Structure 1
Amino acid sequence: MLVWLTDWQLAEDRLLISVGDSVDWTVFPSDREWIARLFEDRLMIEWQYDTYGDAAPGPSRNVVGTVTGLQSVRCRQQRSAAGFEPVRGAARLRSVTDTSGSWRRTAPLASGLPATVSRQKMYTFSYGSSEPEEDALYGYAATVTPRE
Structure 2
Amino acid sequence: MHSAARRIWLAHHETPGRAPQTGVAVSRSTIGNRTGRLLGWAFVCWHAYVDAMRTEDEPEGPRSDRVVMPRRMYESIFGSASEVTRPSLVPRTPTPAVPPEDTVPALRDGESDVWLTEWQIEEDGYVVAVGDAIAWALSAMDQPWVDRILKVPRNVPLQLDFSAHELTEVDRATRRDLRGTIVRIDQVSVRFVNDPDGRGFSVPETNGGQQHSVSSLSDRRPHRGDIIGWIVRVRS
State the TM-score, normalized to the length of structure 1: 0.70
Structure 1 CA distance for aligned equivalents of residues 213 and 224 of structure 2: 19
Q: Report the alpha carbon displacement of residue 101 of structure 1 after superposing the two structures with TM.
A: 5.4
- Structure with greater Cα Rg: 2
Partner of 2:115: 4
Greater strand percent: which structure? 1
User: What letter is aligned with 2:178?
Assistant: V
Q: 1:18 to 1:142 in 2, by over 3 A?
A: same
- Tell me the alpha carbon deviations over residues 41-80 of structure 1, each in whole angstroms, 9 at most, x when there is no partner: 7112010011112333142011111111000001121133
Matched, 1:135 2:206: no
1:93 to 211, 217, 221: 211
Partner of 1:67: 182
Partner of 2:166: 55
Give the superposed CA RMSD: 2.1
Structure 2 CA distance for aligned equivalents of residues 10 and 82 of structure 1: 27
Structure 2: runs of 5 or more not aligned = 1-111
1:79 to 182, 194, 203: 194
Partner of 1:33: 144
Q: Report the alpha carbon displacement of residue 16 of structure 1 after superposing the two structures with TM.
A: 0.9
**Superposed, which structure 2 residues align to 1:10-25 within 5 Å?**
10-25=121-136
SS at match of 1:100: coil
The answer to whether the 8 A contact 2:151-2:210 is kept is no
Structure 1 CA distance for aligned equivalents of residues 152 and 211 of structure 2: 14
Structure 2 CA distance for aligned equivalents of residues 134 and 63 of structure 1: 32
Structure 2 CA distance for aligned equivalents of residues 136 and 92 of structure 1: 10
Q: How many residues align?
A: 116
Q: Report the alpha carbon displacement of residue 137 of structure 1 after superposing the two structures with TM.
A: 0.5
Matched, 1:42 2:153: yes
Greater helix percent: which structure? 2
Structure 2 CA distance for aligned equivalents of residues 26 and 100 of structure 1: 22
Structure 2 CA distance for aligned equivalents of residues 82 and 142 of structure 1: 32
Structure 2 CA distance for aligned equivalents of residues 54 and 40 of structure 1: 32
State the TM-score, normalized to the length of structure 2: 0.45
Q: 1:20 to 1:135 in 2, by over 3 A?
A: same
- Tell me the alpha carbon deviations over residues 68-110 of structure 1, each in whole angstroms, 9 at most, x when there is no partner: 10000011211334433210111111000111258xxxxxxxx
Structure 2 CA distance for aligned equivalents of residues 140 and 63 of structure 1: 17
Q: 1:53 to 1:75 in 2, by over 3 A?
A: same
Q: Which has the higher contact order (CA 8 A, sep 6+)?
A: 1
